[in-house]
Every structure is written in structure tokens, then in C-alpha cells.
Structure 1
Amino acid sequence: MTEKTSSGGCQCGRVRYHADVSKAEAYLCHCRMCQKATGGVAAAFVQLPFEAVAWESEPDWYASSPIARRPFCSRCGTPLGFMFNDGTGMDLTVGSFDDPSGFVPVAHAGAESIHEAWLDTSALPRQRSDETKSVADRWHAAGLEVPE
């Protein structure tokens, strides 16, 4: 299989990584630990072999349970992933990739804590950030355009 490399990192840029995503599988984890660790209704992860991830600059690590730890940036707070203590794999957060558009979830994990109302939101109204007056006004007041 051909190696396909993707890069990513935290919001402030202090922590960066490169990953061979040729064997990657994306999934959503709904367990309560992932909900609390990310502040969301689910964590979107890309599961990779441990050796597929190279940290350009090291993350901080939080021992989130007796069996796992999570990389994050202590400066900006970005959650970057999940890893079992046995080191057999590395899950990176989808949102931390520079271009997450190519990942499609193949499974749900932690299904005991799924919030069903959040699974299919396709019928909800949608509004771009640059079309949200309260957001756009604040960016413009700061002398900037609304980022994508």
C-alpha cells in the first residue's frame, strides 16, 4: 500500500504531527470519557498504528483513566487524541488534521452513551460563520476577516 501522509496539530501551532494515514480508519466515540475530554457529544477520531504518527513537537499527556492517556496542547487546550497505555495504536482527533475533509467515519464506539438526537442533524438550518452577524461584526471590529 502507498504511504499517504497528512499533517496536523493544535489551534495555536505549538504541537504539530505528521501521520501516515494509508491505514487510517475514522470513527466516532460516544463514551462519557470522550464526551468529557472533548466537551462534545462525541469524539471524532482517526485510528492509526502507533508507528504511523510522528510528533514534530511533543504534546502534553493526560492520564484520563487507568488504561489510557490523551495528548493535548497545554497552551491552547486542543485535544489531539487518545492512546491506550499498551501503545498498540494512536487515535488522532479528526479536527486536529490540517485537512480533515478526506476522513469518513466507518463506525460508532462507546454506543452506550450515544445522544441519538445529535446523529442526524442534516435537516437543521445551516448558517456560515461569515453570515452570522454577531460573529462577523466581532472579527471585523478586530480588523480581520472571518476565518474559514
Structure 2
Amino acid sequence: MARMMTGGCQCGRIRYEAAIRDDEAYLCHCGYCRRATGGVSVAFKNVAQADIRWSREPDWYQSSPIARRPFCSACGTPLGFSYLEGPNIDLTVGSFDDPGYFRPTSNFAIDTRLSAWEDTSHLPGMRLDEHQSAVDRWIAATGKLPD
């Protein structure tokens, strides 16, 4: 049974609802995805195009001779990846309202994976509410910390 999940861009201009059939997602390490997102890899959830309803059509960028990517031209949020021909689309896990639902089950383009970024769990970490400068900025701008 499909679970209906929502997501969208940072500014809220583009929203979607997708029928999600499982919690499996994957990481892509290819250079195109790194450049398109600005990340060292990108987490994707593959879904059927027919299972997505956009509140408004996203902007599209043809990022290679074989693929295009939906995004919001107002805020710049990358929303996915799609081959020019095909029934499926990969939505960015981070654009879902509940990205914690998904779990990584595989890696793609491991030949270009940046090995130094494979496991960062040993690095020191800091919570947002422990960074006083950021807290002060958020409180001054909005009166609260972000969700």
C-alpha cells in the first residue's frame, strides 16, 4: 500500500505529493549530481512519474545529454533527477517534508565517490541551539529557531 508523502522547495513555491511504496532510497555520487546540488553526494527516492502530483510545474534544467532536473527558480532548491525518456523520476530525499522516513539502501556511481566523506560519524558535532551566534540571528529574525 502506498503512503502519500509531501515535499517541495525551500520557499514553498513548488510543492508535490507522491505515492511512496517503500522506504528505500539511494545515494548518488556522480559528478553531475555533486555539481547540481553542491553536495558531496545526493540522496534520492525513485518514484514513478505517474505517482507524483506537482502543485505547480517545477522549472527544469537539462543537466546532461540524457537527463534533466526539476528545481525551483525562485529559491534554487534542487528537487530531483529524471532521464529524458523513462517512467520514473528521482526526488531529492531532502525535499520531502519527512525525509527521516527514508533509509539508504544503495550507492550509485561509486567509482566517483569521495571516500573522505563516506563516514563522518566520528567527527565532532554541534547542535544548532549550542551555536549562540546562529541562535541570536534566528531569534532576531523570526523569534524562534527553525524546525
TM-score (normalizing by structure 2):
0.95
Show CA shifts across 1:4-28 (max 9, x none). Answer: 1100000000000000111563100
Q: 1:28-47 counterparts in 2 under 5 A?
A: 28-47=27-46
Instruction: Please give the alpha-carbon distance, in whole angstroms, between the structure 2 residues aligned to 1:51 and 1:143.
Output: 38
Specify the SS of the correspondent of 1:142.
helix
Instruction: Please give the alpha-carbon distance, in whole angstroms, between the structure 2 residues aligned to 1:57 and 1:36.
Output: 25
Q: In the TM superposition, what is the alpha-carbon distance from 1:142 to its structure 2 partner? A: 2.0
Partner of 1:141: 140
Partner of 1:56: 55
Partner of 1:116: 115
1:3/1:21 contact within 8 Å kept: yes
TM-score (normalizing by structure 1):
0.94
1:24/1:48 contact within 8 Å kept: no
Partner of 1:103: 102
Partner of 1:18: 17
User: Match of 1:118, as an amino acid?
Assistant: W
Query: What is the root-mean-square deviation in Å for CA atoms of aligned residues?
Result: 1.2
Partner of 1:130: 129
Q: 1:45-84 counterparts in 2 under 5 A?
A: 45-84=44-83
Specify the SS of the correspondent of 2:143.
coil
Structure 1 residues 143, 80: CA separation in 2 closer, same or farther (over 3 Å shift)?
A: closer
Report how many residues are paired: 147
Q: Specify every segment of 5 or more residues in structure 2 that has no aligned partner in the other structure, as ranges.
A: none
